[in-house]
């Protein structure tokens, strides 16, 4: 545990000084770093739900709800942007709690389908309430911190640290034993005294709140939100493909997976034969990862270390 925390402290220190290592001077790199932190938050939050053995297809939608929540709170009640972000996250928490209480009592597949349906319905809802949502046009918002991307980078970092803290706290507390038991066998988990539904609902709610926070950061960051962007399927897919590729049920997996795949995506987007083909690649990544690398890049690395002749005994 101590070694893990040291590594994370080093990683966070590196991320904190990154802008001063030249990133702040390059508009594109700074933009991309903001986006990366946002997606790392989303990926970490999705993995928290996966640890209980549940498939959430609603994390893209919670991101979208956060994105709309901040814009609506800002426009309708003219609260300061940071307060609007908090309101949006709170709204996501309440919605997730309601959805979780209804669906997490059932077998996993019902939850998965219900979250898929949930994700699908919001685009329609937002188009139906143009007075609130701006209809197809969406809502514009002034940029955070007067457009200072360096300041917003540290806000994104703060939100990421929250997600990382949740993920690590679960790993190094009794929650680790609770989620692993629930994932392995719900019947046994109940019989050793775990309130399985409560464990699942609590983590789903916390996780959706973080996904909502990531979304609440997004709108003031890019200054505009519309229903098609907010609730795009691509983001739901991203929220789960990153952790799967990096390594499920870990904190490092979602972070590494996001860095690897998001970089690849940036490259493919500007490479002619691919363009939007990265979505095909994502489908392929999921299938291949489930079949051949169930613990993702982390699992591969661990296996390599174990086989390495230089391995030192601990």
Residues in touch with another protein (CB under 8 A): 50, 53-55, 57, 102-103, 105-110, 112-114, 116-118, 120-121, 124-125, 127-128, 173-174, 177-178, 180-181, 183-185, 187-196, 233, 237, 240, 244, 249, 276-277, 279-280, 282-287, 290-291, 294
Instruction: Indicate the residue among 125 and 222 with the shorter CB distance to another protein.
Output: 125
- Considering the complex, what minimum distance in angstroms separates the CB of residue 64 from another protein? 15
> What is the spatial distance between Cα 136 and Cα 287, in angstroms, rounded to a whole number?
34
Taking every pair of Cα atoms in the chain, the longest distance, rounded to a whole number of angstroms, is 65
Q: Which tokens hold the place of 36?
A: 């990366």
The secondary structure element, H or E, covering residue 282 is helix 278-292
- Considering the complex, what minimum distance in angstroms separates the CB of residue 32 from another protein? 23
Instruction: Indicate the residue among 32 and 55 with the shorter CB distance to another protein.
Output: 55
Instruction: Indicate the residue among 33 and 54 with the shorter CB distance to another protein.
Output: 54
User: Is-contact 70 128, C-beta < 8 A?
Assistant: no
Instruction: Indicate the residue among 37 and 179 with the shorter CB distance to another protein.
Output: 179
- Considering the complex, what minimum distance in angstroms separates the CB of residue 94 from another protein? 16
Instruction: Indicate the residue among 221 and 245 with the shorter CB distance to another protein.
Output: 245
- Considering the complex, what minimum distance in angstroms separates the CB of residue 120 from another protein? 6
Q: Which tokens hold the place of 21?
A: 């290592």
- Considering the complex, what minimum distance in angstroms separates the CB of residue 102 from another protein? 6
> Would you call 249 helix, strand, or coil by DSSP?
coil
- Considering the complex, what minimum distance in angstroms separates the CB of residue 122 from another protein? 9
Instruction: Indicate the residue among 157 and 182 with the shorter CB distance to another protein.
Output: 182
69-73 CB contacts, 8 Å cutoff, 24+ apart = 69/212, 69/215, 69/216, 70/141, 70/215, 70/216, 70/219, 70/220, 71/138, 71/139, 71/141, 71/219, 71/225, 72/132, 72/133, 72/139
> Would you call 225 helix, strand, or coil by DSSP?
strand
């Amino acid at each position: 545990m101590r070694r893990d925390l040291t590594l994370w402290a080093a990683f966070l220190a590196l991320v904190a000084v990154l802008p001063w290592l030249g990133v702040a001077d390059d508009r594109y790199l700074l933009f991309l770093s903001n986006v990366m932190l946002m997606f790392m938050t989303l990926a970490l939050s999705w993995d928290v739900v996966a640890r209980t053995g549940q498939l959430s297809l609603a994390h893209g939608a919670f991101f979208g709800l956060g994105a709309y929540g901040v814009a609506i709170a800002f426009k309708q009640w003219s609260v300061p942007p940071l307060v609007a972000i908090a309101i949006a996250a709170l709204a996501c928490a309440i919605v997730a709690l309601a959805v979780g209480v209804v669906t997490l009592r059932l077998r996993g597949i019902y939850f998965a389908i219900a979250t898929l349906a949930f994700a699908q319905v919001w685009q329609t809802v937002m188009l139906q309430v143009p007075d609130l949502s701006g209809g197809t046009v969406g809502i514009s918002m002034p940029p955070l911190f007067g457009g200072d991307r360096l300041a917003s980078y540290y806000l994104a970092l703060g939100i990421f640290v929250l997600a990382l803290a949740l993920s690590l706290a679960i790993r190094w507390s009794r929650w680790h034993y609770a989620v692993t038991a629930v994932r392995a066998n719900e019947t046994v988990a109940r019989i050793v005294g775990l309130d399985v539904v409560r464990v699942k609902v609590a983590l789903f709610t916390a996780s959706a709140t973080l996904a909502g926070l990531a979304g609440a950061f997004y709108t003031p960051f890019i200054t505009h939100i519309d229903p098609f962007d907010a609730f795009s399927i691509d983001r739901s897919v991203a929220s789960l493909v990153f952790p799967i590729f990096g390594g499920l049920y870990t904190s490092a997996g979602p972070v590494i997976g996001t860095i690897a795949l998001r970089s690849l995506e940036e490259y493919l987007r500007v490479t002619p034969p691919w363009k939007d083909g990265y979505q095909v690649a994502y489908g392929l990544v999921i299938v291949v990862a489930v079949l051949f690398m169930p613990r993702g890049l982390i699992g591969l690395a661990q296996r390599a270390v174990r086989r390495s002749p230089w391995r030192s005994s601990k």
